[in-house]
A and B are shown apart, each in its own frame.
Chain A
């Protein structure tokens, strides 16, 4: 079938799926950033055992494919009486894994802060929490923007795995259309173009943000 005609007929059916991809990606990215910051705080403030705990967490999630927590949370949680909706389970799995990466990104940026600043903070009487919130975190976030952008792009593409647990995001929509129309190439080329669009948009967003806050 002619590609243009196929897109004209089935293109609009991608809109809801595009929405699901965007919503899960944005939600999971925000959640992962918050949980990643929390992990960093634990690492910096909870002593040696806190750091070891975070290390173990990071190892666990970095060394397993994200499909595993997605499946586990979606299919195993109902057995222990927690039948959360698919989108919550999938989002949680993405948050848990990406937070592990993000906490490592942020840790790298902490090391880039001059030690003198910590001494200065203590000398003017800032409590540890205030030091973290007012001195460390703002700098760390700004330093990390390019790397966080990369991580967000990875997360965005990982949302395609949510098709495995009955969420009709872009990849699932392509699978459904392939089954319905038999036009596998058309269905997946459209999805490839839409992912390309989303990823490019994300990159531009992070680049503009970085440029805006870099020289403060």
Chain B
């Protein structure tokens, strides 16, 4: 049996270990590209609660547009779409998963922002996105201007961009902050909130699934945006390869495979391969 005093000493030792372990060690690392090729498998961090990008289907399988993009990356590396392992996290868990090296790259409705790009590197976008507002039809909200009243509540995701947009577009609206998009959605469905803001494809997916109860307000909150693959910054070889892979998907030799995935999830063709080519 430990005495009170020695228990405190042990606790203090644990804290010290925690602090030391928390400061990442320096040193030369070999490129992730080589690590991935040696391992023979790609490890991808993703969310599981952002349909149609990444979510669990009726059978509990992880599916979605972003999941298929990750499988396409695995195919490019290993000629096998199944040589990929997905690590599921909540929204804020994406960055430490990359920083700690637990995953090689990440996808999952992740928008490129300049301030985000300080902590993680992004490839060029593999899909256009934007932020839309999904409202419950019962609320009677018809525009972003309607929403800007203190009798309404909006469900945000816990990132600062959401809070900034709320301040800018509907400063009077009450805010609830959640840690997953599916909780945001539940909040609107249950009447906790009258609206939510999320990536346009997610908003449209949910509206389509709940035609009687919800609709997407026309227009975007702010500008059109880019969703990219994210990875640990500073690894030029790995970043260049991933960026090249994305470029090939959207504008080059892998456009047919990319189009097939785009068709599967959005029921329409992706933006033209090159703006000066006839479709």
Q: Are B91 and A179 in contact (CB under 8 A)?
A: yes
Whether a CB of chain B sits under 8 angstroms from the CB of A154 is no
- State how many residues of chain B have any CB contact under 8 Å with chain A: 28
> Can you give 12 contacting A-B residue pairs, CB < 8 Å?
A75-B186, A75-B187, A75-B189, A164-B178, A176-B158, A178-B95, A179-B158, A182-B99, A182-B118, A185-B96, A189-B19, A200-B11
Whether a CB of chain A sits under 8 angstroms from the CB of B183 is yes
Report the Cα distance A79→B191, complex, angstroms.
7
Q: Are B190 and A189 in contact (CB under 8 A)?
A: no
Q: Are A76 and B158 in contact (CB under 8 A)?
A: no
Least CB separation from B161: chain A residue: A179
Q: Which of A74, A79, A185 contacts B22 (CB 8 A)?
A: A185
Report the Cα distance A200→B91, complex, angstroms.
31
Q: Which of B15, B119, B158 contacts A182 (CB 8 A)?
A: B119
User: Can you list the 9 inter-chain pairs with the closest CB atoms, starting with the nearest?
Assistant: A184-B96, A182-B119, A185-B22, A166-B176, A178-B92, A78-B191, A75-B190, A179-B159, A175-B92
Chain B interface SS verdict (over half): helix
Q: Are A75 and B192 in contact (CB under 8 A)?
A: yes
| Shortest distance between the CB of A159 and any CB in chain B (Å) | 15
Contact with A along B79-97 (1 / 0, CB 8 A): 0000000000011100110
Report the Cα distance A185→B118, complex, angstroms.
17
| Shortest distance between the CB of B154 and any CB in chain A (Å) | 11
Whether a CB of chain A sits under 8 angstroms from the CB of B257 is no
Whether a CB of chain A sits under 8 angstroms from the CB of B248 is no
Q: Which of B11, B22, B160, B177 contacts A172 (CB 8 A)?
A: B177
Q: Are B190 and A193 in contact (CB under 8 A)?
A: no
Question: Which residues in chain B, 154-206, are within 8 Å of chain A measured between CB atoms?
Answer: 158-160, 176-179, 183, 186-187, 189-192
Chain B residues within 8 Å of A180, by CB: 159-160
Chain B residues within 8 Å of A184, by CB: 92, 95-96, 99
Q: Are A179 and B190 in contact (CB under 8 A)?
A: no
Chain B residues within 8 Å of A3, by CB: 19, 22-23
Report the Cα distance A180→B164, complex, angstroms.
11
Question: Beyond the given A3-B22, A175-B91, A184-B99, could you list 9 further A-B residue pairs with CB under 8 A, ordered by the A residue number?
Answer: A75-B186, A78-B191, A78-B192, A163-B179, A175-B158, A176-B158, A179-B158, A179-B160, A184-B95
Q: Are A166 and B22 in contact (CB under 8 A)?
A: no
| Shortest distance between the CB of B184 and any CB in chain A (Å) | 10
Whether a CB of chain B sits under 8 angstroms from the CB of A128 is no
Q: Which of A168, A178, A179, A196 contacts B11 (CB 8 A)?
A: A196
Whether a CB of chain A sits under 8 angstroms from the CB of B223 is no
Chain A interface SS verdict (over half): helix
Central interface residue in A163, A180, A185, A192, by most chain B CB within 10 Å: A185
Whether a CB of chain A sits under 8 angstroms from the CB of B18 is yes
Chain B residues within 8 Å of A75, by CB: 186-187, 189-190, 192
Question: Which residues in chain A, 100-120, are within 8 Å of chain B measured between CB atoms?
Answer: none
Report the Cα distance A3→B23, complex, angstroms.
8
| Shortest distance between the CB of B22 and any CB in chain A (Å) | 4
Contact with B along A138-165 (1 / 0, CB 8 A): 0000000000000000000000000111
| Shortest distance between the CB of B195 and any CB in chain A (Å) | 15
Q: Are A193 and B177 in contact (CB under 8 A)?
A: no
Q: Are A164 and B190 in contact (CB under 8 A)?
A: no
Whether a CB of chain B sits under 8 angstroms from the CB of A83 is yes
Central interface residue in B19, B176, B178, B192, by most chain A CB within 10 Å: B192
Report the Cα distance A200→B10, complex, angstroms.
13
Report the Cα distance A196→B158, complex, angstroms.
25
Q: Are B191 and A189 in contact (CB under 8 A)?
A: no
Report the Cα distance A186→B21, complex, angstroms.
11
Asked, given contacts A3-B22, A164-B183, whether A179 binds B92 with beta carbons under 8 Å apart, the answer is yes
Report the Cα distance A172→B159, complex, angstroms.
11
Q: Which of A83, A172, A176, A179 contacts B192 (CB 8 A)?
A: A83
Report the Cα distance A193→B14, complex, angstroms.
11
Q: Are B191 and A176 in contact (CB under 8 A)?
A: no
Q: Are B190 and A182 in contact (CB under 8 A)?
A: no
Report the Cα distance A192→B179, complex, angstroms.
19
